[in-house]
Amino acid sequence: MERVAKTIGELSAQEIRELVRNKYSEVALNPRSKYRFRVGREYALDLGYPGEAMDRLPEVMAQSFTGVSSYLARFNEFTTGNVILELGSGGGLDTALLAQKVGPSGKVIGLDLSLAMIQRAVRSLREIAMAHVHFHQAQAEELPLPDSSVDWVVSNGIFNLSPEKERILAEIHRVLKPKGRLLCSEIVLQRDPSAEERLNEDDWFK
């Protein structure tokens, strides 16, 4: 008997997370393939990342970049010694830039759902010897960090991929120190998605 594939609207939260994990693992392993969303250095440049900043980092970091904006306009708000949790750290481009900003007295904790993305980032960061960067494979809905342990939580296009956004926000609130801050970049819809788009797996990643 032929099995009919589920639409995105029929998937459980865990099934959607697995879908996201698989898609971004594919990007980590094959960043030059064609996707329904933009990937790579040229995309990062279009979002405002300066080429000279990326040139000082391993090339593979920008190859798998899939964020939706650039933190660089707000970089003056991060200070030396800050502890930053980055949700959806991907191939490590933002991770490295954040680590340069906070310096060796600070810490950047990169968290990603995809082990392949983390492995890619770890390999790249070894080339530039940033010992104050640490990675976890985990979901943003269940952060493997103690309460009140970070100064900042940053994310670059992860809320749109989660079916349980309220759980992420609750976890962010839990791990932030008193007066800690959240900076997230997200996709903003200019119109309501159609019923077909709400159910289409490919449209989940736009």
Residue in 94, 56, 93, 90 with CA at minimum distance from that of residue 75: 94
Residue in 176, 55, 157, 152 with CA at minimum distance from that of residue 112: 157
List Cβ neighbours of 46 (8 Å cut-off, separation of 6 or more).
38
Residue in 73, 60, 70 with CA at minimum distance from that of residue 31: 60
Structure tokens at 124: 């790249």
The mean of the pLDDT values for the chain is 91
Q: How does pLDDT run across 41-70, given as a tens digit for each residue?
A: 999 999 999 999 999 999 999 999 999 998
* Stretch 79-106: mean pLDDT: 96
Q: Is the pLDDT at 179 greater than 60, yes or no?
A: yes
Q: What does the pLDDT read at residue 206?
A: 57
Lowest average pLDDT, out of 65-79, 106-120, 127-141, 192-206, goes to 192-206
Could you tell me the domains of the chain? 8-198 (3.40.50.150)
| pLDDT band (50, 70, 90) for residue 203 | low
CA–CA dist 30, 122 (Å, integer): 17
CA–CA dist 105, 191 (Å, integer): 44
* Stretch 123-146: mean pLDDT: 94
* Stretch 193-201: mean pLDDT: 73
* Stretch 106-117: mean pLDDT: 98
CA–CA dist 47, 33 (Å, integer): 20
The beta strands (E) that lie in 82-191 are given as: 83-87, 107-112, 133-137, 150-156, 176-185
